[in-house]
Structure 1
Amino acid sequence: MLTIIDKYILKRYLVTFSVMMLLFIPIGITVDVAEKINKILENKVPIGKVLSYYLDFVIYFADFLFPIFLFLSIIWFTSKLANNTEIIAILSSGISFQRFLKPYIIGAIIISLGSLLMGFFLVPKASEGFNNFRYMYLVGNGRNEMRETNDVYRQISNTEFIYVSNFNQEAKTGYNFVMEKFNKEKLVHKITASSIQWNPKDSTYTLFNYNKRIVGELDDKIETNPSKNIKLKFELDDLTPVVYIAETLTPTELNKFIEKEKKRGSANINTYLVVKYRKYSVPVSAFILTLIAVSVSSMKRRGGMGVNLALGISLAFSYVFLDKIFSTLARKSDLTPMLAVWIPNILYGFLAIILLRNARR
């Protein structure tokens, strides 16, 4: 059962967080417009697409800076409570510090559930719209950069592997194509072509300078053709998925996509796993950051709120910085993606325990 004090603190928690979001998002939009207006005008982007982009931008921006918004909002209103000696009055009435944290924990649960639902359903769609617009209109030669186009290697079945040295998305053409089929560890046949082109009308591929070598026990059979139309067991998007594909998928879709990419021997599995695990680690951070923020700001300090805000901003940005550092390490090194994603929460979890012990004293 919530007391009047609980409701008062919970209301301040949620209202301050909402106001902080509403204050910073327009600033983010203003900065983004100032940076990109020349590109938008140069490419004559329709106003409808621009408005749709900034709707997606709001969701994408809010999700990305969620820890900072949450941390600063708690620091702000808790520091005001401390400066007005409201916290001293609450604790002097016989309420323990642990009981004082109850409305903060409830607020963290509400924020965490909201963040989890956003990450599952709203953020994937917003990420797709945000990145599509950015690569289509804002990034130089972005249509080619939005996909993996160099040294594309895929396993399309349990026994078949394909490779192209370069893929041109606009021409739907790959170069230096190789396809190999194995029986256990023995090569069955190998197909090579100088280029491979997708035919959308009948969903076939045309191989130019086609060469097929069938490996026999005593001798090999070789088949050549200037060009040949064949059906292959992969689609164009499977050959060159967009670089941000994992961000645009719901958890169920992402799990299926990761399993499919593992079978294909994709080199980007760690990138996809980082996106998957962050969907769960970011909501948990709401609890950890809430405890740290309350511990830091519940004491009245010399210098007033300024000291608490400075400390809060430093801790919030260091959390985001660590999150980015370890996410990048997971993508580029042998560091386990799950461990990399959870390290910031683990480190700040220990920090929260230490600060809570000091605050109780």
Structure 2
Amino acid sequence: MLGIIDRYILKRYLATFFVMLLMFIPIGIIVDVAEKVNKMLANKVPIDKILKYYLDFTIYFANMLFPIFLFLSVIWFTSKLANNTEIVAILSSGISFTRFLRPYLVGATIVCVFVSIMGFYLVPNASKGYNDFRYTYLKNNAETRESLDIYRQISADEFIYASNFIYGTKTGYNFSYEKFNDNQLEYKISANRIKFNPEDTTYTLYGYNKRTIGEMNDILEREDAKTMRFNFDVDDLVPVIYAAETMSLKELNDFIDKEKIRGSSNINTYEVVKYRKYSIPISAFILTIIAVSVSSIKRRGGMGINLAIGIALAFTYIFFDKIFGTLAEKSSVSSLVAVWLPNVVFGILAIYLLRNAKR
């Protein structure tokens, strides 16, 4: 059961965190509007699309920046407790520092659950709306989205390749399709150019060639252009770069399994998104312990010193998280190790600071 002091600290913990969110998110929206209003007006974006975009923007950035908001809010109100000598009074009453931490950990648990629910269910939809709006109305580069050296296994015995595919024109070059039967090549289709026809979901192959493997002789077919159906769609050729962010956990797991079969080169990028769904909520405990350990001591410089230390540590955490996430996406470094390493490093720092604070 939580006592009076526990409820007092827990109430301050949650209230300060949510007030911090409510203070900074409108500032972020104002900055974003000032930056993008000209493009919105030029593209005549409907008002309902803009309102939906900023709802998605709020969820997307609240999830992304929650470690900073949580860290600063805990430092803020804990520093106020220390400056008012309330912490000294609590500890002087016989309560240990570990016991003093209990309402903070309860608050971190509530925040962890809240952020996990957001990450699993709300953030994927918000991310899709946010990124779709940007690519449709702001970036003006959806027409030039391109994939190079595409190789996909689209089923157990079907493989496709294209040297490049441009999303805007729905056109690929140096295309080939291979069909196997019992690990033996049955036939191969190649074309200088392939174009997707969205009206009937067919593909037109220009410079069409088909080689069917025979026991004695191969059968060759050639046509200037041939329209066909295949067991893949345009998104298989040019996957959206933010596809993983828009999926629930189950969808993401299924998507990663499918992309592994297809030989996708972006597996690490997708796995980074997956592991962050777990690592970001857990960081609530680590950052809370660090914040309490740093700010529970009354310093000569007052709250300003604690906030300065807190801001430096918070941005260092974000920096490490981004650096190792990018490293996993662009290299052979394990995505699991890269995503969890900042939590491990800051977890060790949290233990060290907590031991010092107890003294």
Q: How far does the alpha carbon of each residue in 1:167-224 deviate from its partner, in whole angstroms, 9 at most, with x for none?
A: 2323322222111234566543321112222233433222121101223454432111
Are residue 39 (structure 1) and residue 39 (structure 2) matched?
Answer: yes
- The CA RMSD over aligned residues, in Å, is 1.4
Q: TM-score, normalised by structure 1?
A: 0.96
Match for residue 77 of structure 1? Answer: 77
Match for residue 295 of structure 2? Answer: 297
Contact persistence 1:208–1:226 (CA under 8 A): yes
Are residue 191 (structure 1) and residue 189 (structure 2) matched?
Answer: yes
Match for residue 25 of structure 1? Answer: 25
List aligned pairs for 1:69-148, cutoff 5 A.
Answer: 69-145=69-145, 148=146
Q: How far does the alpha carbon of each residue in 1:111-147 deviate from its partner, in whole angstroms, 9 at most, with x for none?
A: 00000000011100000000001111111423433xx
List aligned pairs for 1:249-328, cutoff 5 A.
Answer: 249-328=247-326
Q: TM-score, normalised by structure 2?
A: 0.96
Match for residue 234 of structure 2? Answer: 236
Q: Which runs of 4+ in 1 moved over 6 A?
A: none
Match for residue 207 of structure 1? Answer: 205
Match for residue 343 of structure 1? Answer: 341
> What CA distance in whole angstroms lies between the structure 1 residues aligned with 2:126 and 2:320?
24
> What CA distance in whole angstroms lies between the structure 2 residues aligned with 1:156 and 1:272?
18
SS in 2 for 1:34: helix
Structure 1, 157-166 or 102-111: larger mean CA deviation: 157-166
SS in 2 for 1:301: coil
Contact persistence 2:143–2:169 (CA under 8 A): no
> What CA distance in whole angstroms lies between the structure 1 residues aligned with 2:154 and 2:321?
34
SS in 1 for 2:155: coil
Match for residue 55 of structure 2? Answer: 55
> What CA distance in whole angstroms lies between the structure 2 residues aligned with 1:239 and 1:168?
9
SS in 2 for 1:344: helix
Aligned residue identity for 1:341: V
Match for residue 327 of structure 2? Answer: 329
Distance 1:184 1:341, change over 3 A: farther
> What CA distance in whole angstroms lies between the structure 2 residues aligned with 1:220 and 1:123?
53
> What CA distance in whole angstroms lies between the structure 1 residues aligned with 2:35 and 2:227?
47
Contact persistence 1:59–1:123 (CA under 8 A): yes
> What CA distance in whole angstroms lies between the structure 2 residues aligned with 1:222 and 1:97?
81
> What CA distance in whole angstroms lies between the structure 2 residues aligned with 1:180 and 1:4?
71
Gaps of 5+ in 1: none
Gaps of 5+ in 2: none
SS in 2 for 1:242: coil
Deviation at 1:165, TM superposition (A): 2.3
Q: 2:161 aligns with which of 163, 166, 191?
A: 163
> What CA distance in whole angstroms lies between the structure 2 residues aligned with 1:202 and 1:300?
71
